[in-house]
Amino acid sequence: AAGVIQSPRHLIKEKRETATLKCYPIPRHDTVYWYQQGPGQDPQFLISFYEKMQSDKGSIPDRFSAQQFSDYHSELNMSSLELGDSALYFCASSSRQGQGGGKYLSEQYFGPGTRLTVT
Amino acid sequence: DAKTTQPNSMESNEEEPVHLPCNHSTISGTDYIHWYRQLPSQGPEYVIHGLTSNVNNRMASLAIAEDRKSSTLILHRATLRDAAVYYCILRSRSNDYKLSFGAGTTVTVRA
């Protein structure tokens, strides 16, 4: 079965540079989530998109932006990189099932992550 | 967001059951109990979820207390591949789609 694809898998950047991470969700999944996991930390939610619209926002720095495109893939753009941005970045996808106010929460499927190292 | 509390770590022997507790005393009526796990160097992976009744799937069982203030994830026969960090997460049916990871339980399986 197709899984979530993330690219690149590894990325090395210098301080103040920019980086773009890409995420390709599972086919027919309409929701994409981005998470950041620092060294020795638990994953932290950054932002999510549903049907190409931002649906929720977590602790995402103003230097970061993201969008979801018409083919449902998503990109996380990171500017003015800092040493503290070094982390694993996971993308997850899911589909909203059900109708109306009683929508069922399907599980999230995570990609393998992009390891960003800022030097 | 309603919070969960889990032990920092647990150890088990291979092929023995593992019972992972989770306390969620402030759970609301619309909160589902989800479990995810993260194997070393991998993204988190869905394990199981439930609302009120006990649930079983091919990976594990979820036992939910009658008052819903606690739950237990049961791995029936631990294998070395089950060594991971296990997260108990509450998700509201109404509006909470993101996963809020807290401090999970690190499970070590001895051969």
Q: How far is CA B55 from CA A110, B49, B50, B61, B82, in A?
A: 22, 7, 6, 6, 19
Q: How far is B66 from chain A (nearest CA, A)?
A: 22
The whole-number pLDDT of residue A102 equals 46
H or E element, residue B35:
strand B31-38
Residues of chain B positioned with their CB less than 8 A from the CB of A105: 32, 49, 91, 93, 97
Of the listed ranges A2-11, A33-42, A48-57, the one predicted with least confidence: A48-57
Compute the distance between CA of residue B55 and CA of residue A103 in angstroms, rounded to an integer: 20
The whole-number pLDDT of residue B98 equals 86
H or E element, residue A5:
strand A5-7
Give me A24's structure tokens. 């390709």
Residues of chain A positioned with their CB less than 8 A from the CB of B42: 112-113
The whole-number pLDDT of residue B94 equals 61
CB contact under 8 A, B98 and A31: no
CB contact under 8 A, A112 and B42: yes
Tell me the pLDDT tens digit for each residue of A60-108: 999 999 999 999 999 999 999 999 999 999 999 998 765 554 455 678 9
Q: How far is B9 from chain A (nearest CA, A)?
A: 14
The whole-number pLDDT of residue B93 equals 66
Compute the distance between CA of residue B95 and CA of residue B102 in angstroms, rounded to an integer: 19
Alpha helices in A11-51 (DSSP H): none
CB contact under 8 A, A33 and B45: no
Compute the distance between CA of residue B3 and CA of residue B22 in angstroms, rounded to an integer: 10
Structural contact between residues A56 and B98, judged by C-beta atoms closer than 8 angstroms: yes
Residues of chain A positioned with their CB less than 8 A from the CB of B34: 107
A interface toward B at CB cutoff 8 Å?
Answer: 4, 31, 33, 35, 42-45, 48, 50, 55-56, 58, 90, 92, 94, 96, 101-105, 107-113
Compute the distance between CA of residue B27 and CA of residue B92 in angstroms, rounded to an integer: 9
The whole-number pLDDT of residue A108 equals 92
Tell me the pLDDT tens digit for each residue of B19-76: 999 999 999 888 899 999 999 989 999 999 999 999 999 999 999 999 999 999 999 9
CB contact under 8 A, A108 and B49: no
CB under 8 Å to A100, separation ≥6 — which residues? none
**Taking residues B79-91, what's their average pLDDT?**
95
DSSP B18-33: EEEEEE-TT--TTEEE
Q: Please report where in the chains the tokens 């967001």 appear, as a residue.
A: B1
A25: DSSP letter: P
Bridge partners, residue A117, by sequence:
A12
DSSP A43-65: -EEEEEEETTEEEEE-S--TTEE
Q: Is the pLDDT of residue B1 over 90?
A: no
